[in-house]
């Protein structure tokens, strides 16, 4: 079976067991490591592998071909995208400083950008000037060099942005949690509809459970793909993004996804999602 997910520590930690043949009865995996903007595009064009990690914000465009799996993804609290600037004085003036400015985002269909658009509509008078899509690991250097006015960052940037001399202007996750009381839906695992989604979900969940039971087993694999990240940052990344919702979305997780997509559809930012299209009757 073919799968595409990011080289980030949370994904390699979650899928280590399945990728290394440690999940009994699961098909052999052929892994493609790709940035979330790439996997979002593959899924939208129907050109992706059977299983992918994509942004929850990209779901409305792919639910005709893929099932959302109830496990393996990234959803939680205190883990949302950040808006960063290079000038502390600018950041201290608040969100209005972004009016008419140039901002980099990691993907046009990322959850980060969707949250940012919902937030900016309420907090940035006159709107953002220009939005530029960049691979997430290019954004902080571009802000540091003054190539852009601000950057929307994800993943381990939450831990590393001070080393670039950057300042947080706003936390999209904190805003979402305060506004809704719900966790933040970030990355989803989807499986093509010609597969048995219950079987695939079972393999994903078994891989997650193996990772939790054997946390050191994946360490070399995680660090191999961690893009020169320190072991301490990789551990913090896993601790934040791999949580109860990775094992099972549950009622609260599905509620958060529905809330995000419903609000975005009401604002005309994504296609409306049919009621019940997120859940599969065979999932527990």
Catalytic machinery residues:
155
Instruction: Report whether 105 contacts 35 (CB < 8 A).
Output: no
**Could you give the CA distance from residue 148 to residue 139 in angstroms, rounded to a whole number?**
9
Which residue in this structure is represented by tokens 């999940």? 23
DSSP string, 122-165: HHSTT-BSEEEE--HHHHHHHHHTTSSSEEEE-TTHHHHGGGGT
Q: Which residues contact residue 50 at a Cβ distance below 8 angstroms, ignoring those fewer than 6 apart?
A: 1, 2, 3, 191, 192, 195, 200
- Separation CA 134–CA 109 (nearest Å): 12
Q: How many residues does the chain have?
A: 284
For residues 161 and 72, give the distance between their C-alpha atoms in angstroms, rounded to a whole number: 26
Structure tokens at 89: 């004085």
The three-class DSSP label of residue 33 is strand
Distance separating alpha carbons of residues 136 and 157, to the nearest angstrom: 9
Phi then psi for residue 241, to 5 deg, are -95, -15
Structure tokens, 120: 């900016």
């Amino acid at each position: 079976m073919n799968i595409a997910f990011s080289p980030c520590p949370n994904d390699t930690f979650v899928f280590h067991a399945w990728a290394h043949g440690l999940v009994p009865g699961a098909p052999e995996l052929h892994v493609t490591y790709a940035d979330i903007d790439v996997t979002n595009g593959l899924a939208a064009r129907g050109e992706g592998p059977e299983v992918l990690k994509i942004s929850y914000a990209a779901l409305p465009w792919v639910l005709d071909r893929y099932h959302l799996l109830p496990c393996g993804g990234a959803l939680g609290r205190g883990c949302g995208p950040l808006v960063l600037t290079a000038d502390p004085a600018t950041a201290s003036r608040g969100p209005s400083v972004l009016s008419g400015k140039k901002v980099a985002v990691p993907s046009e269909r990322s959850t980060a950008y969707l949250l940012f658009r919902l937030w900016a509509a309420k907090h940035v008078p006159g709107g953002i000037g220009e939005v530029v899509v960049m691979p997430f690991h290019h954004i902080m250097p571009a802000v540091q060099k003054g190539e852009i006015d601000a950057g929307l960052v994800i993943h381990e940037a939450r831990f590393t942005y001070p080393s670039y001399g950057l300042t947080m202007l706003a936390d999209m996750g904190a805003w979402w949690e305060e506004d809704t009381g719900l966790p933040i839906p970030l990355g989803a695992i989807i499986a093509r509809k010609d597969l048995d989604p219950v079987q695939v979900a079972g393999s994903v969940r078994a891989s997650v459970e193996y990772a939790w039971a054997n946390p050191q087993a994946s360490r070399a694999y995680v660090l191999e793909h961690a893009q020169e990240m320190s072991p301490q940052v990789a551990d913090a990344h896993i601790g934040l993004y791999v949580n109860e919702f990775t094992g099972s979305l549950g009622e609260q997780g599905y509620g958060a996804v529905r809330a995000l997509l419903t609000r975005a559809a009401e604002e005309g930012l994504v296609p409306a999602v049919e009621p019940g299209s997120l859940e599969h009757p065979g999932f527990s």
